[in-house]
Amino acid sequence: MATPTSLPETARRSYWGNVWSTIKSTAVGMGITFRYLWSKPFTVQYPDEKLTTDERYRGIHYLEQDLCICCNACAKACPIDCIEMEATRHGKELEWHQFDLDYQKCMFCELCVYPCPKDCIHMGKEYALVTEDRGTLNMDLLTWQGLTEEQKVRIAEAEAKKAAKKAAKEAAAKKKAEQENREEA
Amino acid sequence: MKPLTIIASALPEAPVSEAAAPQGNGLTEMLAGWLPESVPFWGLTLMASGLAFGVIMAFVSVVAMFSTWLERKVAGHIQIRLGPMRVGGWHGWAQAIADGVKLLIKEDIILASADRPLFKLAPALVLGTAISTFVVLPFAPGVMIADVHLGIFFVIAISSVTTIGVIMAGWGSNNKWSVYGAMREAAQVASYEIPLGLSLMPPVIYYGSFSLLEATQAQSGWFGMHWYILDPSVMLVSVPSFVLFFVATLAETKRAPFDLPESESELVAGFHTEYSGIRFSFFFMEEYAAMFVMSAIATVLWFGGWNFLGLAALEGIPVLYTTACMLVFIVKSMLLVFVMMWVRWTLPRLRIDQVMILGYKYLTPLCLIVVFAASLLEYLRFVLSN
């Protein structure tokens, strides 16, 4: 009697065919797993070694503070308002008070990077944000705090210049007023 | 080693006359040598039992720890990952110790609705039966707790008592999943006990003895390579009988692809769902102890026990020889344990009907054929040698 061909292959095999196919398929499967057993694992031992991130990876920002002019363009572009900055102007010199980026809110959308007129804010490669204290996630992006000696000198110079300019202007105004008085007299 | 001696060895010993002194074993004799003569025989027996229990328990713990570590490493590497790498430095060797400590200090939860006596007794029974099978394993010449005349029979009988412990655990947990697991275990072990026993018959017929020590000694020829599985005159039955035994062993020890009692993806964790802490670890130790015992039986009957090429050359140096023999025996057994792990991470779990089909429609008839072939072969060898 011919076996109906509509049955699945496993049902059409004979008794010894089943025995043979079981042994054979198990042997083939075990051969494959044995090959895998000796192949090099894909796993990376994370804290010790890290995978290299992509060129365009969007990690924690870094700021080129020397270039920044405190124009607030990035803070305005930010859709969730996580950037806050403050600086006092002394002529062309800036006295920074804060440049905070709150990583509890930040979604790494990169929208703050494009509007920067000085091209001074970038997305970095660092991604490890694990912390025991949420407060530390509100990060200060300033590369330095306070002012260097050189800067203090430059600020002092700028202030002196400003004061001199003001004094000169006042002197000029006084002179002018005196002249007008004399003419009247 | 002739066929008729099987029957002789299977019969009970002639009854000892009451006048004869009670017979001890090597351990009691050793203790009697150390202790004063006033110590009674029952005291010696008690001490010998305690000593044997301590040694076996320590060995089982180490084997279980090493096996869990090996299992995780093998699983990891087969899946192209690393497995434990941190604890203890080199490739996470102390992972099993850390796990053990963790299980020890965990809360031991017993459900309010559980059957307390059964629930508490089950892990002890399961582990107790598993470690009592170690009593008959011949590790090396002279390193063997008891040379039981019916050693193979003893192991098969005792190891199936584990099932009762598992059923107790399942029933005592008062949990549907646990009872399902226990029922599967009962059905599976009852079915696979037949092929397991039958597949042990070809070597028994070959050695003409149920004793594991005699089986090992019979394979010491050819400079230690006269293993049953390597003997060309019986290879036709020794290789198939080993394969059948190995498959039955996997089912008997609840290993994948026959891990239906546990099957974590359908029954949570099967019969030990409700167990925690040290009781849970008892079930795990039992699994690895049973794996080692079954591998050791296969080592003794098919792979020459402690015999290895050229090992007899060391016979003059007692300590070194014993150590080398033990090492050979344990390495051979662990290799078979490794194969069990390898199978586990290769094959998917069977359905319960597939397990039953494999047991009753394939393994049992094939075992009967192999036993018949082995008997015929042994008869031919007997006729030809005379």
State the smallest CA–CA distance between residue A44 and chain B in angstroms. Answer: 9
Indicate whether A18 belongs to any domain: yes
Measured between CB atoms, does A11 come within 8 Å of chain B?
no
Tell me the count of A-B CB pairs closer than 8 A.
42
As a 3-state breakdown, chain B gives helix, strand, coil percent values, each rounded to 5, of 70, 0, 30
Structure confidence at residue B26 as a pLDDT band (50, 70, 90): low
Indicate whether A5 belongs to any domain: yes
Q: Find out whether B204 and B210 touch, Cβ atoms under 8 Å.
A: yes
**Whether A65 and A18 share a structural domain:** no
Measured between CB atoms, does A173 come within 8 Å of chain B?
no
CB within 8 Å: B342 and A29: no
Residue B14 has pLDDT above 50, yes or no: no
Residue B3 has pLDDT above 50, yes or no: no
pLDDT tens for B63-113 read 888 888 999 889 989 998 888 888 877 888 888 888 888 888 888 888 888
CB within 8 Å: A42 and B342: no
In 3-state terms, what secondary structure has residue A94?
A: strand
**Whether A128 and A79 share a structural domain:** yes
Q: Find out whether B96 and B68 touch, Cβ atoms under 8 Å.
A: yes
Q: Find out whether B366 and B245 touch, Cβ atoms under 8 Å.
A: no
The pair of three-digit structure tokens given for residue A70, joined into one six-digit string: 């405190």
Q: Which CATH number does the domain housing residue A76 bear?
A: 3.30.70.3270
For residue B315, list its beta bridge partners.
none
Using CB atoms, pick whichever of B78, B82, B343 lies closest to residue A36.
Answer: B78
Measured between CB atoms, does A37 come within 8 Å of chain B?
yes
Q: Which of B124, B126, B152, B272 is nearest to B213 (CA)?
A: B152
**Contact residues, B window 75-104, toward A, CB-based 8 Å cutoff:** 76-82, 85
Measured between CB atoms, does A10 come within 8 Å of chain B?
no
Segment B24-29 long-range contacts (CB within 8 Å, at least 24 positions apart): B24/B48, B25/B145, B25/B146, B25/B147, B26/B142, B27/B51, B27/B52, B27/B145
Which one-letter amino acid corresponds to residue A128?
Answer: A
Burial of B50 (0-12, 13-18, 19+ CB in 10 A): exposed
**Whether A165 and A126 share a structural domain:** no
State the smallest CA–CA distance between residue A14 and chain B in angstroms. Answer: 12
Average pLDDT over residues B272-300: 88
**Whether A138 and A89 share a structural domain:** yes
Q: Find out whether B223 and B315 touch, Cβ atoms under 8 Å.
A: no
Q: At what angle do helices B26-34 and B41-78 cross, to 10 degrees?
A: 120
Q: Phi and psi for B291 in degrees, rounded to 5?
A: -60, -45
Q: Give the Cα separation of B149 and B136 in Å (integer).
A: 9
In 3-state terms, what secondary structure has residue B165?
A: helix
For residue A123, list its beta bridge partners.
A61
**Whether A78 and A154 share a structural domain:** no
Task: Give the distance between the most distant pair of CA atoms in chain B.
Answer: 70
**Whether A134 and A77 share a structural domain:** yes
Interface test with A, best of B73, B77, B244, B351 (most A CBs within 10 A): B77
Contacts of B362 by beta carbon, 8 Å cutoff, 6+ apart: A18, A19, A22
Domain carrying residue A31:
1-39
Structure confidence at residue B336 as a pLDDT band (50, 70, 90): very high
Average pLDDT over residues B272-287: 86
Q: Which of B246, B272, B290 is nearest to B63 (CA)?
A: B290
Residue B1 has pLDDT above 50, yes or no: no
Pairwise pLDDT comparison (B163 vs B10), residue with the higher score? B163
**Whether A65 and A131 share a structural domain:** yes
pLDDT tens for B179-211 read 888 888 888 888 888 999 899 989 988 888 888
> Chain-centre distance of CA B115, in angstroms?
30
CB within 8 Å: A26 and B81: no
Q: Which of A137, A122, A127, A146 is nearest to A63 (CA)?
A: A122
Which one-letter amino acid corresponds to residue A114?
Answer: Y
**Whether A96 and A134 share a structural domain:** yes
pLDDT tens for B214-225 read 888 888 877 777
What is the value of ipTM here, to two decimals? Answer: 0.73
Task: Look at chain A and report how many structural domains it folds into.
Answer: 3
Indicate whether A155 belongs to any domain: yes
pLDDT at residue number B25: 60
Structure confidence at residue B381 as a pLDDT band (50, 70, 90): confident
**Whether A111 and A171 share a structural domain:** no
Measured between CB atoms, does A18 come within 8 Å of chain B?
yes
State the smallest CA–CA distance between residue B292 and chain A in angstroms. Answer: 21
Q: Phi and psi for A5 in degrees, rounded to 5?
A: -80, -10
**Whether A65 and A138 share a structural domain:** yes
CB within 8 Å: B77 and A33: no
pLDDT tens for A112-148 read 889 988 888 888 887 877 888 887 777 777 765 556 6
CB within 8 Å: B346 and A39: no
Indicate whether A157 belongs to any domain: yes
Measured between CB atoms, does B347 come within 8 Å of chain A?
yes
Task: Find the distance separating the first CA and the last CA of chain B, reported in whole Å.
Answer: 14
CB within 8 Å: B80 and A41: yes
Structure confidence at residue A9 as a pLDDT band (50, 70, 90): low
Residues of B with CB below 8 A from A32's CB?
A: 346
Measured between CB atoms, does A14 come within 8 Å of chain B?
no
The whole-model pTM stands at 0.76
Q: Which of B115, B74, B137, B129 is nearest to B283 (CA)?
A: B129
- Please report, for chain B, the start and end positions of each structural domain, with discontinuous segments joined by +: 61-385
Indicate whether A54 belongs to any domain: no
